[in-house]
Homo-oligomer: A and B are copies of this chain.
Amino acid sequence: MPPLGLGVDLGGTNARAAVVDTDTGEIVAAHKEPLRDRSPPRVVEVVSHALREAASAAGVDLAGVRSVGVGVAGQCLGATGVVLNAPNLAWRDVPFGEMLRTAIGVPVRLANDLSVAAWGEKRFGAAKGIDDVVLVFVGSGVGSGLILGGRLHDGAQGVAGEFGHVKVRPSRPDTRPRRCGCGMTGCLEAYTSGMNVAARVREEVAAGAPTSIATLAGGDLSRVSASLVDDAYRGGDPYARALWEEVGELLGTAIANLVTILNPARLILGGGVLLGCPALAAIVQARFDAAVSISATTGLSVERAWLGDDAGVIGAAVLD
State how many angstroms separate the Cβ of A180 from the closest Cβ of chain B.
10
Does A21 sit at the interface, judged by CB under 8 A?
no
Q: Which of B157, B260, B298, B300 contacts A263 (CB 8 A)?
A: B157
Per the 8 Å Cβ criterion, residues 115-158 of A in contact with B are 131-132, 144, 146, 148-149, 151, 153-158
Instruction: Evaluate contact between A295 and B253: CB separation under 8 angstroms.
Output: no
Count of chain A residues with Cβ under 8 Å from any Cβ of B?
48
Q: How far is the CA of A162 from the CA of B261 in the complex (A)?
A: 5
Q: How far is the CA of A296 from the CA of B85 in the complex (A)?
A: 12
Instruction: Evaluate contact between B298 and A157: CB separation under 8 angstroms.
Output: yes
Residues of B within 8 A of A156 (CB): 131-132, 263-265, 299-300
Residues of B within 8 A of A165 (CB): 260, 293
Per the 8 Å Cβ criterion, residues 250-264 of A in contact with B are 253, 256-258, 260-264
Residues of B within 8 A of A85 (CB): 295
- Each complex incorporates copies of this chain amounting to 2
Residues of B within 8 A of A293 (CB): 159, 162, 165, 182, 184
Instruction: Evaluate contact between B162 and A295: CB separation under 8 angstroms.
Output: yes
Instruction: Evaluate contact between A157 and B295: CB separation under 8 angstroms.
Output: yes
A residues near B (Cβ < 8 Å) are: 75, 77, 84-85, 131-132, 144, 146, 148-149, 151, 153-163, 165-167, 169, 171, 173, 182, 184, 186, 253, 256-258, 260-265, 291, 293, 295-296, 298-300
